[in-house]
């Protein structure tokens, strides 16, 4: 461990405490790998009444949320507050929904008067905090730099115990049983350096005094095994969950050790037989395969898996150097900011770099789904990052790349519930006798065959999905083709037939398959300003009139199609398959 703090970089944000807090957290991640940090900062500002108000800013789902510090401090001093009421009271500190309530550890951060507070939970610090000889070892490793907070039953007692330790001017950190290490300072740099050096000292001690357990030889985990386990756990919990698989040597060793039973449920592959009906299933240990964490989003699932690994490693470290004090350690609390319509669902959208594909990826993400956008555009990763999704560059006409795409999705997220097969191109218009053969073949390759290849490799995993559905993006041209658009119209017509066959084949498996036929979606790259003006002029109307050239006189946007995809993927269409759904404002040629 070595600090990566750069004074020049920090100086750029020193006048913005939230940016400085974010910089300190990011720098710690670069300095110390594999150790989660939860860092907070206190700021004071004057309200409309001319009174100073101090807020504690905590990280939550990619941003910082301000909480009333004074109210938090008072909550931390309440002995009589029932634990079930605490989330509501914590949410009121920041006018949040109860589902967005911060963790109870927030009370400890509020109680410590220092501006910056870091909370780390490495295997080494956790082993030390829950060690039978915690006081003597702490003095040996840190001297007077770190104090030990006695284990307390209530959070209020824990707050009082920590406050009693803060009198020492030499104090840089506090070890808290079941929690780890709290470090603090009024200066971001000093807090960061303390966090790094104290974690390094704890790790160095255990490296020299304990022996690592060699894991058994790994048993390769097949993607279908992962998808099957995720399906089992999701069904057991009653809703879709994301699965993160930690197959590190340490996790594989822990999964096959005597410690495994205390870290979560253990399966031997026969999930029905080895996982009892009342077994907690947010953490699953599979001997020789590793640890699986489950959550409503990838971040939560990763935290669950990491937590189990850290607790297991901490127990091994402590037991190798004296003994572990067995207590109940609360796992990571749910971090999802809301219950979306498709929360926990895993969705793949092909052709998602722009237009309908991008809008669909956006609406699915907003609905709570974990979205993977696939596109030949090399910028797809940054495009998807902008909406909180994962982008993967892939040529969907290359079967090997499609197969690799599906495998990556299963290994990163655990399964596949929603496939939106959207990739498409519009080749140069030409009458049949003038058409270049290359345009015909290219249209068929992208607009038809790539969808068939995607289905071929996705279907085995979609069958293991939760309320699974496949949605194709077709075209009005299927039912109302245009002259000079044979290559496009024929490919989309064949795609519709592919959808119908897939609906017939997959209905017995509980997989719904439908197709959307959009028309006149003018906010795509296909329709430039010049193209719109030319088309409107040809009809003798304005561009705005041309955009609403349908029976309902309404404008169809990419998001209109994306919203329809979300609806089709939801329970609202749970009984619908094989349907062709127009999103066109009404077309008299079709009606």
454-513 tens-digit pLDDT: 999 999 999 999 999 999 999 998 998 888 888 989 999 999 999 999 999 999 999 999
β-sheet with 265-266: strand ranges across = 242-246, 290-295, 283-286, 265-266
Count of all residues that appear for the chain in the document = 591
Structure confidence by residue, pLDDT tens digits, 300-321: 898 888 888 888 888 888 888 8
Q: Is residue 489 assigned to a domain?
A: yes
Query: Would you state the pLDDT for residue 141?
Result: 94
With beta carbons less than 8 A apart as the criterion, state whether 293 and 241 touch. Answer: no
Q: Is residue 507 assigned to a domain?
A: yes
Q: Is residue 338 assigned to a domain?
A: no
Q: Are 200 and 167 found together in one domain?
A: yes
Query: Would you state the pLDDT for residue 530?
Result: 85
Q: Are 560 and 461 found together in one domain?
A: yes
CA-based radius of gyration for the chain: 28
Query: Would you state the pLDDT for residue 333?
Result: 47
Q: Are 274 and 406 found together in one domain?
A: no
Q: Which residues are catalytic?
A: 488
198 or 307, which is more confident:
198
Structure confidence by residue, pLDDT tens digits, 218-243: 567 899 999 999 999 999 999 999 99
Query: Would you state the pLDDT for residue 33?
Result: 82
Q: Are 45 and 112 found together in one domain?
A: yes
Query: Would you state the pLDDT for residue 207?
Result: 85
Of 43-47, 446-450, 472-476, minimum mean pLDDT range: 43-47
Confidence check: pLDDT of 339 > 80 = no
Confidence check: pLDDT of 255 > 90 = no
Q: Give how far Cα 120 sits from Cα of 72, 180, 266, 310, Å.
A: 21, 6, 27, 11
568 or 162, which is more confident:
568
Confidence check: pLDDT of 25 > 60 = yes
Q: Are 67 and 100 found together in one domain?
A: yes
Confidence check: pLDDT of 215 > 70 = no
Give mean pLDDT, residues 558-576: 97
β-sheet with 469-473: strand ranges across = 390-393, 370-375, 346-350, 418-421, 469-473, 512-518, 580-583
Please, what sign has the CA dihedral across residues 363, 574, 470, 447?
Answer: negative
Q: Are 193 and 314 found together in one domain?
A: no
Q: In 3D, which of 90, 144, 113 has the Cα closest to residue 40?
A: 113
Please, what sign has the CA dihedral across residues 129, 130, 135, 136?
Answer: negative
Q: Is residue 284 assigned to a domain?
A: yes
CATH of the domain at 201: 3.40.225.10
260 or 347, which is more confident:
347
Give mean pLDDT, residues 557-575: 97
Q: Is residue 589 assigned to a domain?
A: no
Give mean pLDDT, residues 114-134: 92
- How many separate helices (H) and strands (E) can be counted in the chain? 22, 18
Query: Would you state the pLDDT for residue 336?
Result: 44
Give mean pLDDT, residues 150-179: 83
Choosing from 288, 321, 354, the residue where a domain stops is 321
* Residue 460: both structure tokens together: 């085995």
Choosing from 264, 286, 321, the residue where a domain stops is 321
Query: Would you state the pLDDT for residue 343?
Result: 93
Give mean pLDDT, residues 534-551: 90
Residue 448 has what DSSP assignment? I
Buried b (16+ CB within 10 A) or exposed e, 286-318: bbbbbbbbbbbbbbbbbbbbbbbbbbbbbbbbb
Residue 335's pLDDT band, with cuts at 50, 70 and 90, is very low
Q: Are 173 and 64 found together in one domain?
A: yes
User: How many structural domains does the chain have?
Assistant: 3
Q: Are 309 and 182 found together in one domain?
A: no
Confidence check: pLDDT of 426 > 60 = yes
Q: Is residue 326 assigned to a domain?
A: no
Q: Is residue 474 assigned to a domain?
A: yes
Q: Are 168 and 23 found together in one domain?
A: yes
Query: Would you state the pLDDT for residue 328?
Result: 57
Query: Would you state the pLDDT for residue 277?
Result: 63
* Residue 398: both structure tokens together: 């290359």
With beta carbons less than 8 A apart as the criterion, state whether 324 and 221 touch. Answer: no
Q: In 3D, which of 517, 585, 591, 527 has the Cα closest to residue 556?
A: 585
Q: Is residue 289 assigned to a domain?
A: yes
With beta carbons less than 8 A apart as the criterion, state whether 31 and 224 touch. Answer: no
* Chain centroid, CA 397 distance in Å: 28
Q: Residue 96: which domain range? A: 7-208
Q: In 3D, which of 424, 531, 535, 530 has the Cα closest to residue 487?
A: 424
Give mean pLDDT, residues 333-358: 83
Give mean pLDDT, residues 64-71: 92
Query: Would you state the pLDDT for residue 76?
Result: 87
Q: Whole-angstrom distance between the N-terminal and C-terminal Cα of the chain?
A: 68
pTM of the complete model: 0.84
CATH of the domain at 409: 3.40.50.720
What three-state secondary structure class fits 485?
Answer: strand
Residue 240 has what DSSP assignment? -
With beta carbons less than 8 A apart as the criterion, state whether 159 and 233 touch. Answer: no
Q: Are 94 and 145 found together in one domain?
A: yes
Q: Are 149 and 237 found together in one domain?
A: no
Confidence check: pLDDT of 259 > 60 = yes
Choosing from 184, 208, 232, the residue where a domain stops is 208
Q: Are 313 and 359 found together in one domain?
A: no
């Amino acid at each position: 461990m070595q600090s990566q703090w750069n004074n020049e970089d920090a100086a750029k944000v020193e006048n913005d405490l939230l940016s400085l807090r974010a910089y300190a957290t990011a720098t710690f991640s670069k300095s110390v790998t594999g150790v989660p940090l939860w860092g907070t900062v206190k700021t004071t500002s004057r309200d409309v009444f001319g009174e100073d108000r101090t807020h504690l800013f905590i990280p939550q789902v990619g941003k910082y949320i301000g909480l009333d510090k004074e109210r938090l401090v008072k909550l931390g001093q309440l002995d009589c507050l029932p634990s079930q009421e605490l989330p509501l009271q914590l949410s009121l500190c920041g006018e949040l929904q109860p589902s967005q309530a911060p963790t109870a550890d927030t009370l400890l951060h509020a109680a410590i008067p220092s501006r910056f507070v870091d909370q780390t939970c490495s295997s080494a610090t956790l082993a030390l905090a829950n060690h039978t000889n915690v006081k003597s070892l702490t003095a040996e490793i840190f001297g007077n730099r770190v104090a030990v907070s006695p284990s307390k039953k209530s959070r209020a007692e824990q707050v009082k115990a920590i406050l009693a330790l803060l009198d020492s001017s030499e104090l840089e950190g506090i070890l808290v049983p079941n929690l780890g290490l709290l470090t603090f300072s009024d200066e971001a740099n000093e807090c960061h350096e303390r966090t790094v050096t104290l974690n390094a000292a704890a790790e160095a001690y255990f490296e020299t005094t304990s022996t690592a357990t060699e894991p058994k030889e790994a048993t390769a985990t097949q993607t279908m095994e992962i998808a099957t386990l995720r399906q089992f756990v999701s069904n057991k919990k009653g809703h879709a969950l994301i699965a993160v698989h930690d197959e590190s040597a340490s996790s594989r060793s822990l999964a096959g050790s005597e410690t495994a039973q205390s870290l979560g449920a253990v399966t031997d592959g026969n999930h029905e037989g080895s996982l009892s009906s009342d077994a907690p299933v947010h953490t699953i240990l599979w001997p020789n395969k590793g640890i699986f964490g489950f959550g409503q989003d990838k971040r939560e699932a990763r935290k669950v898996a990491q937590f189990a690994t850290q607790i297991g490693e901490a127990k091994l470290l402590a037991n190798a150097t004296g003994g572990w004090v067995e207590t109940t350690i609360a796992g990571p609390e749910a971090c999802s900011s809301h219950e979306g319509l498709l929360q926990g669902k895993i969705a793949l959208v092909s052709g998602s770099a722009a237009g309908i594909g991008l809008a669909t990826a956006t609406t699915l993400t907003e609905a709570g789904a974990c979205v993977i956008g696939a596109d030949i555009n090399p910028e797809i990763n940054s495009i998807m990052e902008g909406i909180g999704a994962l982008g993967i560059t892939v040529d969907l006409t290359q079967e090997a790349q499609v197969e690799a795409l599906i495998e990556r999705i299963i290994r990163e997220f655990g399964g596949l519930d929603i496939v939106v097969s959207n990739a498409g191109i519009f080749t140069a218009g030409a009458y049949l006798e003038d058409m270049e053969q290359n345009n015909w073949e290219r249209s068929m390759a992208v607009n038809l065959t790539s969808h068939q290849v995607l289905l071929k490799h996705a279907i085995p995993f979609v069958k293991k999905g939760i309320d699974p559905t496949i949605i194709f993006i077709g075209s009005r041209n299927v039912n109302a083709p245009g002259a000079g658009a044979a290559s496009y119209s024929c490919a989309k017509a064949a795609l519709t037939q592919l959808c119908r066959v897939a609906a017939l084949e997959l209905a017995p498996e509980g997989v719904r398959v439908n197709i959307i036929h959009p028309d006149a979606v003018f906010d795509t790259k296909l329709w430039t300003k010049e193209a719109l003006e030319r088309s409107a002029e040809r009809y003798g109307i304005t561009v705005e009139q041309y955009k609403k050239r349908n029976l309902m006189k309404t404008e169809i946007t990419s998001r209109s199609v994306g919203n329809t995809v979300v609806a089709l993927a939801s329970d609202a269409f749970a009984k619908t398959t094989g349907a062709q759904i127009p999103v066109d404002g009404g077309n008299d040629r079709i009606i």
